[in-house]
Structures are given as structure tokens and as C-alpha cells.
Amino acid sequence: AQSVTQLDSQVPVFEEAPVELRCNYSSSVSVYLFWYVQYPNQGLQLLLKYLSGSTLVKGINGFEAEFNKSQTSFHLRKPSVHISDTAEYFCAVSETDSWGKFQFGAGTQVVVTP
Amino acid sequence: DGGITQSPKYLFRKEGQNVTLSCEQNLNHDAMYWYRQDPGQGLRLIYYSQIVNDFQKGDIAEGYSVSREKKESFPLTVTSAQKNPTAFYLCASSFPGLAGSIEQFFGPGTRLTVL
């Protein structure tokens, strides 16, 4: 069975500083990987996804993530954050044979301050 | 515009009452999902449906029921058997059979409060 661990429950960061959100997964088969963002009282919005190919994936709003198969990780990064990046971020994994069923991490709350 | 709608946005119910949350999508997606979100616990899968007239229990199905009579609709009923129903409920859909398009699309959510 698949599982996802987001290593930080909350990450405080200053505006224009870089941020990294860590995500590790466990699975016995090949996986697809995703990062979503959630603003307060809203649904989730897809930031980026890894399906195959290049391990460095670029997404919306300047975010990127790198798939590391040997370390079973999919960390999310942004070189310079804005106040508007304050939100909760979720990592998700879907096994390639699971017909679209996802497992989500517990989430990382990012708080950007001036 | 294509998307997923959930209604109502806020819902209050008294203990012992059943309540139904609506989820409609016009994305022509085959699969639909219901999640429950509690602070610090991420999203937990309640039920999912891969095709019309078929659905499966997720990780926390006890106290919930669903139906999938139409492709675009997947209502969730929170029954009086659900011990702690106060939560934020999210509906999602996807087209898992389309290569490169497996991601789930989410509705805006319904916040249920039991009084």
C-alpha cells in the first residue's frame, strides 16, 4: 500500500526568501506524484505533477519539484516566495495500477511574512 | 466553464439528522471521489466511483453513503451513524483512463457543522 509523509507541518518563511517543502512516499510499484495548494476555505488546485520522463518538473506560480526515485522523495521548491504563497500544500501519490486513486500527505502550512 | 460544483458551501445540522452534500461535474470525467479534511490530517478518502452505478468504500466509509446514478453527479449522505461529522468535505473528479491526465480536479468544498 502507498503512503505519503510530509516532513514539516508548518514552514515559516520571509517574503522573497526560498522555500522547500519535503515529501517522501512509500510504494512497492511505480507511482505518479503531485503537489496541490489549498487557500483557506477553498478546494485544492494542482501545482505540478510527475508522470514520467524528466525528474525536474516545473509548475504554476514559479514552483518546481524534483523526483528522486532512490530516495523516494518529491520535494517542492520556490526560489523566492510572495505573501500570496501563504497557503497549505499537499503532496499526493497515485500508484500506476490504482486507476486514479490518490493518497495524500497531512499537508504543510506555509506562512510568508514581510 | 468546465468544473466541479459543490453545494451548499456551509451546512449546519442537528445531531441525529442525515444530510446530503451535492457534487456535480461537467468535465465528462469517469471517476469521482469524496474526501474528508480535518486539521492536521490531510485528506482522507470516504468513497470513490470509477463508473456510473458503481462505487467503492475508501478508508473512512463508516457513517457515510453515496450513489452514482449519473456520470456528472456523486452525492454524499452523512448519516446519523457518523460519530463526528463536523469537517470540511471535498469532492473531486478525474479521467484516469486518459494518459497524461490522471490528476484529480477539486470542487470548492462544503463545511459541515453539527450543532
Listing DSSP states for B6-41 in one string gives EE-SEEEE-TT--EEEEEEE-S--SEEEEEEE-TTS
The pLDDT value recorded for residue B41 is 84
- For residue A41, the 8-state DSSP code is T
CB A20 within 8 A of CB A8: no
Whole-angstrom Cα distance, residue A29 to residue A98?
10
The pLDDT value recorded for residue B102 is 83
Determine contact: B31 vs chain A, CB below 8 A.
Answer: yes
CB B25 within 8 A of CB B32: yes
The pLDDT value recorded for residue A72 is 95
Tell me, rounded to whole angstroms, the distance of Cα B6 from its chain centroid.
9
| pLDDT tens digits, A54-101 | 999 999 999 999 999 999 999 999 999 999 999 999 999 998 887 778
Determine contact: B41 vs chain A, CB below 8 A.
Answer: yes
The per-residue pLDDT string of chain B (115 residues; one tens digit each, 9 = 90 and over) reads 679 999 999 999 998 899 999 999 999 999 999 999 998 888 999 999 999 999 999 999 999 999 999 999 999 999 988 889 999 999 999 987 766 668 999 999 999 999 8
Candidates B106, B111, B112, B113: best to mutate against A (most CBs of A within 10 A) is B106
Tell me the nearest-neighbour CA distance from A76 into chain B, angstroms.
17
Q: Where are the beta strands (DSSP E) in A1-114?
A: 3-6, 10-14, 19-21, 23-26, 31-38, 44-50, 56-58, 64-68, 73-78, 87-95, 103-104, 108-113
Residue A7 binned pLDDT confidence (cut-offs 50, 70, 90): very high
In angstroms, the Cα distances linking A94 to A55, A105, B51 are: 16, 12, 18
Determine contact: B45 vs chain A, CB below 8 A.
Answer: yes
- For residue B70, the 8-state DSSP code is B
Residue A8: closest C-alpha in chain B? B40
Tell me the nearest-neighbour CA distance from B44 into chain A, angstroms.
8
Residues of chain B contacting A9 with CB distance shorter than 8 Å: 40
Residue A5: closest C-alpha in chain B? B42
CB A77 within 8 A of CB A96: no
Q: Do the Cβ atoms of A42 and B109 come within 8 Å? A: yes
| pLDDT tens digits, A30-48 | 899 999 999 988 999 999 9
- Sequence letter at residue B40: G
- For strand A64-68 and strand A10-14, is the pairing parallel, antiparallel, or unpaired? unpaired
Instruction: Map grid coordinates 477539486 to a residue.
Output: B106
- Sequence letter at residue B101: S
Determine contact: B48 vs chain A, CB below 8 A.
Answer: yes
